[in-house]
Amino acid sequence: MPNDSKYIRLYPERAVAPLRAVFDRLIQGEVVPTPELATARLTLDEDGFPEDEPLFLLRGQDTLAPLSVRGYAMMAQDAGAFGGSVEVYEHIRDFADRMERWEPRKLPD
């Protein structure tokens, strides 16, 4: 089923890194062998989010977003998600702080 969303497809950083490395080399004028480019694209497809996977996006301008993100951090920590990594929970809370500082802010339309 084609992705008819108005938003682009999102990928985690680990999925994009191999392809980014190939493109950086291309930008510098290097000739990149076709198999290497194909491998980078395959890695992207394997590690990316499936096109039909539901994905919920909160924007920095949304006044409700920081509270939602903090709630997620709390639930993730209580559940022991992310291997119980305190650094990950702190990173999520820091992200909520960044959202609170974003201007302009407003309620969702």
Task: Give residue-wise pLDDT tens across range 4-34.
Answer: 555 555 666 777 777 778 778 888 888 777 7
8 Å CB contact between 44 and 72: no
Task: Give residue-wise pLDDT tens across range 48-103.
Answer: 667 777 778 889 999 999 999 999 999 999 999 999 999 999 999 999 999 999 99
CB neighbours of 99 closer than 8 A, spacing ≥ 6? 58, 60, 62, 65, 66, 69
Largest CA distance in the chain: 49
